[in-house]
Amino acid sequence: MFEQLQVSVPVGCVFGSDRDMYAVQEMNKYSEHAGKWTCGFCGKSFYEEKFLDKHFDGRHSDRTVMV
């Protein structure tokens, strides 16, 4: 949202990407339309976002944060 409004996020803000533990994972999700989600790491596509999230956990856990 901050990018859309072209507003900079103050350092230390709770909404800053440096404090977001899922920022890398969310930045590597691409959606062409509601039924196609693509992994930014390997290019594999999924019908639902939840399957892409499971893919991140199984295939790219070294790049994303596991809770």
Question: What's at 18, amino acid-wise?
Answer: D
pLDDT of residue 42: 96
pTM over 0.75: no
Beta partners for residue 38, in sequence order: 30, 45
pLDDT tens per residue, range 7-38: 887 877 877 777 778 888 889 999 988 899 99
pLDDT tens per residue, range 44-64: 999 999 999 999 999 999 988
Spatial distance between the Cα atoms of 22 and 65, rounded to a whole number of angstroms:
7
Residue spans of the domains in the chain: they are 15-67
**Residues 28, 41 contacting (CB under 8 angstroms):** yes
Spatial distance between the Cα atoms of 67 and 58, rounded to a whole number of angstroms:
13
